[in-house]
Structure 1
Amino acid sequence: MKMKKTILLLVLVILNYSCKTNEQEPLPQNTYEIAGTAKGVVNGLRAYIHSVENNRQVTIDTAIIMNEAFVFKGKTANPSIKTITINSIKGSLPFVLESGRININVKRDSLYYSPVTGSKNNEDYNGYKAEYRKRSSAINGLNEEYKNATTQEERNEIIARARKITTELDAFGMDFISNNPDSGFSLLLLETQITNPDINLEKLKSNFNALQPVINKNAAYKSIGAKIQSEIAIIEASANLNVGKIAPNFTAPSIDGEMISLNDIKGKATIVEFWASWCGPCRRENPNIVRVYEKYKDKGLEIIGVSLDRPGHKERWKKAIEDDNLNWHHVGSLQYFNDPVARLYDVHSIPASFILDEDGKIVAKKLRGKALEEQISKMLD
């Protein structure tokens, strides 16, 4: 009896050890392992993980397909949306790259919609893509309807439906975030949405606020949240510089050290001109601005030039003013594009101009040549 108990105990120990050895060891911190199956894909072809950096696609990892499978292993600090491409297969597969184990079942006929499992973020991304596919497929049906339409009235009705679906698709990303404020993927999706130049600022802020519990979950999400918050501030500042808005007032040092405020020198029409002595296009445009100024200064035109000259280049700035006969107000801090006024006006390239009416409202931007004179003529003639 004692022998039987000993054998039974030994069997249980062996079974327990066997179960433990079958479990995968946890990965080191900030490490990812992506296991992919690629049925029908030829041995030796390569799979790539790509990132977009400064509007360029950069390859960050490569794997070779063997026996219809591939594995990526590497380090990543924060979750982010990346793409996978495979030689000889059309399209790309967007997914969430994050620490941990991820599985991908490659669909050769639809790489974009290949399922990615192993993390909640990727499961949410699968759901997002499936719903987007469902909605966008309706457009294909309308194309067939349009071909078969027999009257203009029918065609107009189909066009109206197509526009409605297109509008809904454009808004789908932000709507998904609104409906899934507890998802880490929603935060990553919001990070991609802020690059849209037509983004609805109020919707952006609303979604960002709703995602605060997600942002506060860990350091990685806090880092993404800080980036989005910074972008929101930039978008808000840019929105305040749209035509129809009151131009931000500023006070800056003149070339002689006197402090000059925009509100103190505004005329019936005012040009805020960002330029620099080193800027070739600015210098070539200066004769046109001089001609417009001479023609309209007695009718109420004022100009304030904001120099983006580099540190230590005060004499170059001063010489350019004299050489080009720029006989109007000039301010500058000799900080290049870090000039406080340039940052206030979100100026990233020059020449750049803002034309204000007598109330300080922005009526036009970035006008040069004949267009500048036509705008001033419209305001003062």
Structure 2
Amino acid sequence: MKKLAILFFGFALILSSCQEDKGYYLSGTIDGFEDGKKVYISERDESTRSLKTIDTAVVKDGKFEIDLEEQELPTLSFLGFEGLNGNVVFISENQKINFDINKDSLRNFLVTGGKENKALNEYLSHLKELNRKMVGMQTDMRNAASARDTAQLNSLRNTQQELRDNDKNFKEELFSRNKDSYVSVMLLTDMLNMRSHTSAEVREMYGEISERLKKTPLAKSLKETLDNSLAAEIGSKAPSFTAPTPDGEQLSLEDNLGKVTVVDFWAAWCKPCRIENPNLVKTYNKYKDQGLNIISVSLDRPGQKDRWVKAIEDDNLEQWSHVSNLKFWDEPVARKYRVRSIPATFILDEDGVIVAKNLRGEELTNKIGELLK
């Protein structure tokens, strides 16, 4: 299992924030940090997904403080330190927040003040403990597998599932207490990304957060993701797209619908995709005269068009249409369909409505045969 390495943005942990009457105020102590060193206050630039520095404080006598402008909305922010790797994450809010930081261990922090950061601290503490248990369990599971101790392995798997269930319950309970806190949006984003909750469940919970929070960039991004996931669900009209073919021409979904259309996401570098391709060829040859069409969307990397074209030839896929922007996981068509792993297939009826998805082998063949009867 992926390391539940705490916090969906992947930056090191630690919080803070504060305010005066008109603005928020940060202050703190940092053990072992030389006078004159800078403390950088940064925010995440949603357009570039990188950090941008908004202000700077200077350490004096092992302390720092800075008075910042009033925040209209809470924002996930970071403290960076001159000459040190890593960041301390916090939520900017119009409160007076104090940090207690150790130069040699940014993860071991203390933050006081502010309801936003109190909720964040509770969430991060839970995730750190969960991560500790999961990492230890992975070691035990490897040892049990090596020893071929089936009973111990099954017991550990049950315990692992209990931890996942407890994590899900914790997130739901923390969300219920913080529907007007920025942490609620972070929780929903993590629920969706970690797939502990379905998009339908997250969509329902999203409707419960305050209108104030829905104005934040993170909430808007989450809403866009939820809207896209709804568009790619069974029973929904398949998201429209136009993308370049290997010849450089533009191909649209609407102009290439058959009685049944398979939108197949794959890549030359994807071994499971290449293993599945012979079955796709077999299915196409069986049903192409009855109205089956296939559009393959490649997630190949930038600058690797030759590998994409060669894979099409090697796997005998030239019989149907192919498109790709060669942007790897940033492929626009894949993002519209919320594809996070490949191979992935979407089966459309003649009106372009998604009737099934992610079928392979005989299941895919049988479903297409059923639809074409």
Place the TM-score, normalised by the shorter chain, in its bin: 0.5 to 0.7
Partner of 2:61: 67
Q: Among 79, 92, 108, which residue is 1:84 paired with?
A: 79
Say if 1:182 and 1:358 are closer, same or farther in 2 by CA, change over 3 A: closer
Rounded Cα–Cα distance in structure 1 between residues aligned with 2:357 and 2:179? 42
SS at match of 1:106: strand
SS at match of 1:99: coil
Rounded Cα–Cα distance in structure 2 between residues aligned with 1:36 and 1:57? 21
Partner of 1:246: 235
Kindly name which structure, 1 or 2, has the bigger radius of gyration based on alpha carbons. 1
Q: Among 26, 29, 34, which residue is 1:34 paired with?
A: 26
C-alpha displacement of 1:361: 4.2
C-alpha displacement of 1:97: 0.8
Aligned amino acid, residue 41 of structure 2: I
Deviations along 1:301-354, one digit per CA (max 9) or x if unpaired, are: 4699xxxxxxxxxxxxxxxxxxxxxxxxxxxxxxxxxxxxx99x94799xx996
How do 1:209-220 and structure 2 match up within 5 A? 209-211=207-209, 215=210, 220=212
Q: Tell me how many residue pairs correspond in the alignment.
A: 280
- Larger helix fraction of residues: 1
C-alpha displacement of 1:56: 2.1
SS at match of 1:43: coil
Say if 1:165 and 1:45 are closer, same or farther in 2 by CA, change over 3 A: farther
Deviations along 1:146-169, one digit per CA (max 9) or x if unpaired, are: 698777133442344245425644
Partner of 1:133: 128
Aligned amino acid, residue 120 of structure 2: Y
Deviations along 1:174-229, one digit per CA (max 9) or x if unpaired, are: 44213x14552443434643772735223323433443xxx25xxx53523x9737
Q: Among 199, 202, 220, which residue is 1:201 paired with?
A: 199
Say if 1:173 and 1:50 are closer, same or farther in 2 by CA, change over 3 A: farther
- 1:123 aligns to 2:115 (yes or no): no
Say if 1:86 and 1:163 are closer, same or farther in 2 by CA, change over 3 A: farther
Aligned amino acid, residue 35 of structure 1: S
How do 1:120-269 and structure 2 match up within 5 A? 120-139=115-134, 142=137, 152=149, 153-166=151-164, 168-169=166-167, 172-178=170-176, 180-181=177-178, 184-190=181-187, 192-193=189-190, 196=193, 198=195, 199-211=197-209, 215=210, 220-221=212-213, 223-224=215-216, 228=219, 231-232=222-223, 234-242=225-233, 245-248=234-237, 267=259, 269=260
Say if 1:106 and 1:121 are closer, same or farther in 2 by CA, change over 3 A: same
* Contact 1:92–1:112 (Cα < 8 Å) also in 2: no
* Contact 2:43–2:75 (Cα < 8 Å) also in 1: no
C-alpha displacement of 1:357: 4.5
Say if 1:192 and 1:108 are closer, same or farther in 2 by CA, change over 3 A: farther
Aligned amino acid, residue 71 of structure 1: E
C-alpha displacement of 1:37: 0.7
Query: Structure 2 regions of 5+ residues with no counterpart?
Result: 1-18, 241-253, 265-282, 296-331
Rounded Cα–Cα distance in structure 2 between residues aligned with 1:362 and 1:63? 57
CA RMSD of aligned residues (A): 5.3
* Contact 1:94–1:112 (Cα < 8 Å) also in 2: no
C-alpha displacement of 1:36: 1.2
C-alpha displacement of 1:35: 0.7
Say if 1:147 and 1:202 are closer, same or farther in 2 by CA, change over 3 A: closer
How do 1:304-323 and structure 2 match up within 5 A? none
TM-score calculated relative to the size of structure 1: 0.54
Say if 1:63 and 1:230 are closer, same or farther in 2 by CA, change over 3 A: closer
Identity of aligned residues (%): 23
C-alpha displacement of 1:135: 3.7
Rounded Cα–Cα distance in structure 1 between residues aligned with 2:285 and 2:152? 59
C-alpha displacement of 1:80: 1.4
Say if 1:155 and 1:45 are closer, same or farther in 2 by CA, change over 3 A: farther
Say if 1:177 and 1:66 are closer, same or farther in 2 by CA, change over 3 A: same
Asked which structure has the greater RCO (Cα within 8 Å, sep 6+), the reply is 2
Q: Among 50, 53, 57, which residue is 2:42 paired with?
A: 50
Relative to structure 2, which stretch is displaced further, 62-71 or 187-196?
A: 187-196
Say if 1:52 and 1:141 are closer, same or farther in 2 by CA, change over 3 A: same
Partner of 1:255: none
Rounded Cα–Cα distance in structure 2 between residues aligned with 1:206 and 1:378? 31
